[in-house]
Amino acid sequence: EAGVAQSPRYKIIEKRQSVAFWCNPISGHATLYWYQQILGQGPKLLIQFQNNGVVDDSQLPKDRFSAERLKGVDSTLKIQPAKLEDSAVYLCASSLERDSPLHFGNGTRLTVT
Per-residue exposure over 31-54, b if at least 16 CB sit within 10 Å of its own CB, e if not: bbbbbbbeeeeebebbbbbbeeee
Among 2, 27, 39, 40, the residue binding other proteins under the rule CB under 8 A is 40
Nearest to 63 by CA among 39, 82, 41: 82
Minimum gap (Å) between residue 2 Cβ and other proteins: 14
The interface region with other proteins, picked from 60-68, 71-79, 80-88, 93-101 by CB under 8 A, is: 93-101
Q: Does residue 39 belong to the site contacting other proteins (CB under 8 A)?
A: no
Binding positions for other proteins, rule: CB under 8 A: 4, 31, 33, 35, 40-45, 48, 55-56, 91, 93, 98-99, 101-107
